[in-house]
Amino acid sequence: MAIEVHVVTPEREVWAGEAESVIARGVEGEVGILNGHAPMMLQLAIGPLRILRDGEPELSTVVDGGFMHVTSPGEDAESQTRVDVLASGAELADDIDVAAARARAEELDGQLSRSSDGDRTDDDVADLKANLDRARARVDLAG
């Protein structure tokens, strides 16, 4: 039996459908979900989310952190495992503008290298690093 998967951001539902498995990168490592998986909540890292579907190409998405909630089928044999990915941002690999992501990564890298002159707060530097990680994740996935 397949898994019901929903990938959503505050702005939109990025993808919904059935899958054989889901592989996500949590802040403490990767996890794979199959039908019948125990319920869980996982804090997602910035990185790829892989959705494997029976007889179809793998669907790759990049997520900008967030959470993955897995609910298990109950006693009812007809129910299925559900995976809800609640991300602050997410983009399907096919929708990523690789040239724009590379340009953004280069821009942020330059800003970060210039931040050593002391004109940025620690919070500003942390924001730059997180945005750079997001841009690099898109380049790595689609490029």
Question: pLDDT tens across 96-137, in order?
Answer: 999 999 999 999 998 888 766 567 788 888 888 999 999 999
Which DSSP symbol is given to 116? G
Domains of the chain, by residue range, sit at 3-95, 98-142
| Rounded Cα–Cα distance for residues 3 and 110 (Å) | 42
DSSP codes joined into one string, 31-94: EEEETTPPPEEEEEEEEEEEEE-TTSPPEEEEEEEEEEEEE---S-TT---EEEEEESSEEEGG
The CATH number fitting domain 3-95, selected from 3.40.50.720, 1.10.150.530, 2.60.15.10, 2.40.30.10: 2.60.15.10
Does the pTM surpass 0.75? The reply is yes
